[in-house]
Amino acid sequence: MQYQETVDEILSKKEAANALRISVRTADEWMRKGILPFIKLPTGAVRFRRSHILGLMDRYAITTGGIA
């Protein structure tokens, strides 16, 4: 039996916004409203787990071509 560790990629705000096809400003608003989960670093910067972004894409039917 093989053990395979999966690592959840961490994205910047700009990368997350691009993946979701939204503006950085909309990402800020979604963060404030609790729609977009994020990790706040000690420096004050924020990061996002790719798995959370993919979950939002599924939830809101966002494809690589925009909202379906």
- φ, ψ of residue 39 in degrees (nearest 5): -115, 125
pLDDT in tens, 35-59: 999 999 999 999 999 999 999 988 8
pTM of the model: 0.78
pLDDT confidence band for 15 (50 / 70 / 90): very high
pLDDT confidence band for 63 (50 / 70 / 90): confident
Round to whole Å and give the CA distance between 42 and 52: 21
Strands of the chain (E only): list them. 10-11, 39-40, 46-49, 62-63, 66-67
Round to whole Å and give the CA distance between 49 and 10: 5
Q: Which domains does the chain have, with CATH numbers?
A: 10-67 (1.10.1660.10)
